[in-house]
Amino acid sequence: MSFRTIEWRDNKVVMIDQTKLPAEERYNTYTDYTGVAEAIRGMVVRGAPAIGVAAAMGVALGARDIIADTFDSFYRQLENVCDVIGRTRPTAVNLFWAIERMKRVAQQHKALDLNSIREMLKAEAISIETEDLAICKEIGRHGGPLIKEGGRVLTHCNAGGLATAGYGTALGVIRAAHESGKKIQVFADETRPWLQGARLTAWELMKDSIPVTLISDNMAGWLMRRGEIDCCVVGADRIAANGDTANKIGTYSVAVLAKENKIPFYVAAPISTLDLTLPTGDSIPIEERTSSEVTQIQGVGIAPEGVKVRNPAFDVTPARYISGIITEKGVVRGDFERELRALVGQ
């Protein structure tokens, strides 16, 4: 990878500013948890795994600045830090997974002095970043063989290195296929309204010399009908116990079109994206974002002033449209509930 999505450097958090891509490769530095929270909310960092890493690092920054004499006082303030970060993006379960992991570390080491606890939290945040890269490589190892030689792959939004600590989930599968020597072609949906496919997926695939063709969202079905797409691979922000999957808005449409055209539709995600507390996707909270994201592009108005807008950031694809869920522990097919629970030992 020729860029870093997020890293802990000199006791600060450094992130590539994804709102500036592809025009500018800018890195922002954050010294406190409120800055990290705003970066998550403002889409400077996005993608479920990357949000999880950012949340953990934000908690570590917050813990560093807490002034307390006892563990109870420290932990109460740490919970406030976690609450602020937890209110940023409601759909991506990795956010809450990372926060809970950080809180457990604090509780497990409550007998230590507070400076030692702060160091443990910093180490845990860095471990989450390191683990994510290894997990994405494993997702790629399991998913790469699903893409055939000469395969034409459609992906939606950005589930690449920019959405993770590096390598990617959906793009990790694509990268693994490319690295194995397969001559593949990627079709990237532009992904309105934030244009993550146009701005981010196309940018990072081009940087890695992986052949990519950008298409508008409403072209996907026609290309499938013409036989120009062999499979679809997307990421996920939350997966319910039955396999229903929340991902960037527009994913459901791609999945339905793939089913109609008898094209495999795969979801690539780490086990940390599973939310087995939810029986189906009907219970997944869907974030609604500001209307200006739809009525403007980079600050330029494209719609009548005052028009009514709906802007859900995610949709839910029912499990019946999903050919397989690719995780770091293997590919799950068929009885998603039974197999997903088996993956996590439930």
For 11, the 3-state DSSP assignment is coil
CA dihedral 265, 268, 272, 276 (to 10 degrees): 10
Q: Is 338 exposed, middle or buried (0-12, 13-18, 19+ CB in 10 A)?
A: exposed
Q: How far apart are CA 229 and CA 189, in angstroms?
A: 12
Q: How far apart are CA 171 and CA 147, in angstroms?
A: 12
Q: How far apart are CA 185 and CA 202, in angstroms?
A: 12
Instruction: Name the DSSP letter for residue 225.
Output: H
Going by C-alpha positions, the residue among 161, 96, 181, 165 that lies closest to residue 130 is 165
Buried b (16+ CB within 10 A) or exposed e, 16-31: bbbbebeeeeeebebe
Residues serving a catalytic function are 237
Q: For residue 42, how many C-alpha atoms fall within 13 Å in the half-sphere facing its CB? A: 14
> HEC states along 27-47?
EEEECCHHHHHHHHHCCCCCC
